[in-house]
Chain A
Amino acid sequence: MSDQTLLKVTDLQRHFPFREVQGLRMVRATVKAVDGISFTVKEGQTLGLVGESGCGKSTTSRLVTRLDEPTGGSIEFGGRDITHLKEHELRDIRRDVQMIFQDPYSSLNPRQTVGAILSTPLRVHGLHQGKEKARVQELLELVGLNPEHINRYPSEFSGGQRQRIGIARALAVEPKLIIADEPVSALDVSIQAQVMNLLAKLRNELGLAFIFVAHDLGVVRHFCDQVAVMYLGKIVEYGDKKKIYEAPEHPYTQALLSAAPDINVARGIAPKERIRLIGDVPSPIDPPSGCRFRTRCWKAQDICAQVEPPLLSATTEESTRAFREGGVHLQACHFPEVKTDLVAEVPA
């Protein structure tokens, strides 16, 4: 793990314009799917992206892989600005940044054999010319599949196996960064763990950096170094895993963590005090003014409606503390809740 910044995302924006009918009029509106987010990923590091449905996780992934073009902000990869590169200029980037998709069923072309699926990236990038088949078999082995299955169709595999094929495809071009958009959400409970293990193994062996999108907080906790919590197209809290999970400062993060049911209840551990949020996530078409979470926040006050809280360290005055802890922890709330006992835990 070097300290080299691999990916730097600054103020990234993706607004989808569309037309909507309101009463008798047609109005133009925009879905602010991603609305100014910044983060960095260093080589070999894993960033987790969590948040509820529709908060912009997938959009972010698609922007970073440049499957979609941002409407604002910038993406730097390996020091190069790739924000608005054209498709043909992206070729190199396509080798370095790969994606693993959520749905192992729809992410593999049902009409192609595993061999064809895996050799496509090799062919496109002219890798291992003449020895594609060997490389494909190698890849299959790498993800724990039988190399003899090269001529089978995806439908002949189970969900977990298919997800492995998807992973192998991403690995084929030997990327530096993999964006995994909910790679295990669609898998059965008993298979999830297999795939998680595979990803962890590959990360360690190949020194890959990951952006790992999930809504299962447990999985993220298991897999990531840093976590960004998103709400309605914004990052509301961002920091090292330990801090986010153990000392969440933003009310939304707290609510999210408390809402996740805990199996340990069965073992006699008292259930967490559950923060009950009222209502649903507002629409990204017309997000609330000021702090976007305020409509569901129990702490909301007048200022929340007027001023949009920036993503800051809750304890700027104690920046030394953040430094001492050797980690980042930013949040965007006017009234963050700083857990002081954690400070005590940190060795001086």
Chain B
Amino acid sequence: MAWARLKRDKVAIICSVIILLFIIVAIFAPLLVSLEAVDPITKVKADVGTVHTELVDFNGLPTVGASSAHWLGVEPRLGRDLFARWAYGARPSLIIGFVAAFASTIVGVTLGLVAGYLGGLADKIISWVIDFFLSLPILLLVLAVIPIMQKRLAAGGDLTPEETSTIRFWVLIVILVVFGWMGLARLVRGEVKSLREREFVQAARAIGVPTRSILFREILPNLVGPIIVSASIAVPAYITYEATLSYLGAGLVEPTASWGRTIADAQNLFATYPLWLWPSVIGLSLLVLALSLLGDSIRDAFDPTSRR
């Protein structure tokens, strides 16, 4: 039913198409990049990682503009292909957004279910933990914790750049999840508390359905709406958060291409060399906008009373 409503929502359709486009760009980034022509100076096709300092002058500014070899020009200082950076840059945003939303949804739902259904001490403890996490000045803490986590994970070992950026990537997801599950847990807890009193749950108990089945077969399916809604809101939020952390230097690291990092790098040259900054800003804004509008539509579809 919600699905049918969603299908009738024009905004939702447009947003889905945009998101799909970004997903396609992310998945087929190598293919798209290979469509660029061979660079006349370097004599090779551009890729996402190879630096071509010969394409920038001594002040780091590119000497070549947008061309068939470099659809968006090349990166100041390093001379990497900006279109490749942009296309590959969609990947972390999408992966982090969706994976973190998925994981934090699982954590939030599980804890919320347990707290709401069991009540008593379990509820008290989980609620306290929720309160506790909500009281932390998250941004600062996250900024502080990420390097510590990275170090802990590296466990004294020496890291190659690729290992570093992979560790960072997962650390970031873990951090987003660790600091992102509370809202949903609270919501689920409340819903479960009221669902628990609903007569169909009582009926299941009266029949003798075991607790675990009640939680997962009777109650959970009724939370699909709020869970999907909250997950759909979480995705753009995480994407934004990742970009912000990358901007503040605690997010992804070289050589990973990411919009947040590009924005951080490029912000000063926004007027001097606009091709660097704006594609990522536009990509990020558009993706986040589409995801949040879609989130709204999903909420409307699941909760018709809240519609426009």
Interface residues of A (CB under 8 A from B): 62, 65, 67, 87, 90-91, 94-95, 97-99, 101-103, 106-112, 120-121, 124-125, 166, 169, 172-173
Contacts and interface: CB of A to CB of B under 8 A. Distances in A.
Query: DSSP majority for the B interface?
Result: helix
B224 A173 contact: no
Given A97-B206, A98-B207, A120-B204, 5 more contacts: A67-B205, A107-B199, A109-B200, A111-B222, A120-B217
Contacts of A112: 217-218, 221
B203 interface: yes
B207 A106 contact: no
B222 A121 contact: no
B206 A99 contact: yes
Given A110-B222, A111-B222, A112-B221, A99 B209 contact: no
A62 to B, nearest CB: 7
Contacts of B213: 124
Contact of B199 (A87, A103, A125, A172): A103
A101 B202 contact: yes
Contact of A169 (B203, B205, B217, B218): B203
Contacts of A87: 211
B156 interface: no
B263 to A, nearest CB: 43
B221 A111 contact: yes
Contacts of A109: 200, 204, 218, 221-222
A65 B203 CA distance: 10
A95 B200 contact: no
Given A67-B202, A109-B222, A169 B207 contact: yes
Given A101-B202, A108-B200, A169-B203, A124 B209 contact: yes
Contact of A124 (B199, B202, B208, B224): B208
Contacts of A102: 199
Given A109-B222, A111-B221, A111-B222, A67 B206 contact: yes
B7 interface: no
Given A111-B222, A111-B224, A106 B206 contact: no
A121 B221 contact: no
B103 to A, nearest CB: 24
Nearest to B221: A111
A106 B198 contact: yes
Contacts of A120: 204, 207, 209, 217
A124 B218 CA distance: 13
25 contacts: A65-B206, A67-B205, A90-B208, A91-B208, A94-B206, A98-B206, A99-B202, A102-B199, A103-B199, A106-B198, A106-B199, A106-B200, A107-B202, A109-B200, A110-B222, A120-B204, A120-B207, A120-B209, A121-B207, A124-B208, A124-B209, A124-B210, A124-B213, A169-B207, A173-B207
A241 to B, nearest CB: 27
Interface in B181-233: 198-200, 202-211, 213, 217-218, 221-222, 224
Contacts of A90: 208
Contacts of B224: 111
Contacts of A111: 221-222, 224
Interface string B130-168: 000000000000000000000000000000000000000
A177 to B, nearest CB: 12
